Amino acid sequence: METEKRKEKGITIMSKVLVITTSLRAKSNTDILASKVAEGAKDAGHDVSCVSLKGKEIKYCIGCLGCQKTGKCVLKDDVPEIMESVRNADTLVFASPIYYYSLSGLMKTFLDRMNPLYGSDYKFRNVYLLTTAADDAEYTPEKAVNCLQGWIDCFEKAELKGSLFCPAINGPGEANAKPKELQRAYDFGKGLL
């Protein structure tokens, strides 16, 4: 279901997009490409916010399920503030490097901590994934996509709308020298619903 267009300050806003980057590396290729996704989404008329999990305190879920009763996590860290941004976005774009053919550990930990959203009145409907890796095999992103799909499957109103894999990017900041991948990321952002 597409978000209805709304007028804000005379500008038609397509949807409220939240881009979440999950790389811990300095000069992260994932961050570089995520910024191009955000740029494309802004140019398409979306209201775009970006958050990097780098430097954030994100504790591991302890599986107490207290959040299922209260709607809030018992752990005290930076997650609740970010979670409110997730809850109120129409479209989510997760950006992760691929490690051992799956999502980064930071992203998986973050997804686990989104458990209080389960059963809540979340707004997001459209979910996208951007991944980067040194490997360039076509199958490289499959397990990362499947991992995110498992999370999305728990949110009945949400759907994985697309993914973009940017391969053969390894060294810090290397994405800046890859005009084709930068353009693909920009175009991916322009095509968000």
C-alpha–C-alpha distance, residues 103 and 109, integer Å: 10
Residues 6+ apart with CB under 8 A from 24: 53, 54, 104, 106
Kindly state whether residue 43 falls inside one of the protein's structural domains.
Answer: yes
Kindly state whether residue 36 falls inside one of the protein's structural domains.
Answer: yes
Counted domains in the chain = 1
C-alpha–C-alpha distance, residues 76 and 57, integer Å: 9
DSSP for residue 102: B
Kindly state whether residue 126 falls inside one of the protein's structural domains.
Answer: yes
Residues 6+ apart with CB under 8 A from 118: 68, 154, 155
Given this model, what pLDDT does residue 6 score? 42
Determine the residue type at 149: Q
Q: Domain of 143?
A: 31-190
C-alpha–C-alpha distance, residues 128 and 89, integer Å: 13
Kindly state whether residue 24 falls inside one of the protein's structural domains.
Answer: no
Kindly state whether residue 12 falls inside one of the protein's structural domains.
Answer: no
Given this model, what pLDDT does residue 14 score? 83
| Cβ pair 42, 58 in contact under 8 A | no
Q: What is the mean pLDDT of each run of 10 residues along the chain (193 residues)?
A: 43 85 96 98 97 97 94 95 97 97 97 95 97 96 97 97 97 97 98 95
Chain position carrying tokens 């993914």: 163
Give the phi and the psi of residue 157 in degrees, each rounded to 5: -85, -5
DSSP H helical ranges for the chain: 29-43, 67-70, 79-88, 105-113, 142-152, 179-190
Given this model, what pLDDT does residue 5 score? 44
Given this model, what pLDDT does residue 1 score? 33
Kindly state whether residue 21 falls inside one of the protein's structural domains.
Answer: no
DSSP H helical ranges for 44-133: 67-70, 79-88, 105-113
Given this model, what pLDDT does residue 154 score? 96
Give the CATH number of the domain where residue 186 resides: 3.40.50.360
Give the H/E segment covering residue 165.
strand 159-166
Kindly state whether residue 60 falls inside one of the protein's structural domains.
Answer: yes
Kindly state whether residue 55 falls inside one of the protein's structural domains.
Answer: yes
Q: Where are the beta strands (DSSP E) in 87-140?
A: 91-97, 126-132
Chain position carrying tokens 């930990």: 109
